[in-house]
């Protein structure tokens, strides 16, 4: 029974991981580089709110808004699945992707605020280290320092 539901579970985890990495890295880096900007303050405020809201309330709110009120997204089901290398996945069809949006956002809402705050705090700590100060003194560009570009 568990193996029968594994493809759907992995679709959700993969989709949520894409959302978490796609948003937490740039937002966390920006909040660390410019901690006093209004956008950083908004991001950190929203991440505090995001940590405080239980995931089931996020799910109910998203279903109510996007499925019931606006009618943009389906509220249940997996949608059509396609076969990629013998694997049944919702990422292979447009209907399957539409069915994945709300559950993936809901699942990502658990970890996204935590990752933003973690990336920000770790990067702020690293930016105070000696080798970063040396790189600045040597005249390296901020882009190269922040993103380790050669």
Number of domains into which the chain is organized: 1
Q: Is the pTM higher than 0.85?
A: no
**CB neighbours of 83 closer than 8 A, spacing ≥ 6?**
89, 92
- Residue-averaged pLDDT of the chain: 87
| Model confidence at 149: pLDDT above 60 | no
The whole domain housing 134 covers 2-147
CA separation for the pair 63, 1 (Å, rounded):
27
pLDDT digits (tens, 9 = 90+) for 56-65: 999 999 999 9
DSSP β-bridge partners for residue 89: 82
Residue 127, burial from CB neighbour count under 10 angstroms (0-12, 13-18, 19+) = middle
Q: How confident is the model at residue 81 (pLDDT cuts 50, 70, 90)?
A: confident
**Cα–Cα distance for residue pair 22/67, rounded to 1 Å:** 24
């Amino acid at each position: 029974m568990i193996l029968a539901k594994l493809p759907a579970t992995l679709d959700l985890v993969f989709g949520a991981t894409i959302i978490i990495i796609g948003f937490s890295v740039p937002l966390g880096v920006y909040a660390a580089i410019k901690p006093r900007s209004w956008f950083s303050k908004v991001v950190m405020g929203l991440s505090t709110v995001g940590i405080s809201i239980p995931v089931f309330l996020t799910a109910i709110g998203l279903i109510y808004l996007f499925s019931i009120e606006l009618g943009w997204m389906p509220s249940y089901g997996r949608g059509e699945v396609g076969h990629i290398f013998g694997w049944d996945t919702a990422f292979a069809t447009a209907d399957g992707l539409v069915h994945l949006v709300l559950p993936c956002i809901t699942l990502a809402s658990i970890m996204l605020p935590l990752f933003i705050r973690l990336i920000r705090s770790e990067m702020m700590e690293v930016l105070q280290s000696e080798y970063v100060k040396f790189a600045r003194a040597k005249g390296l560009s901020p882009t190269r320092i922040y993103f380790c570009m050669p």
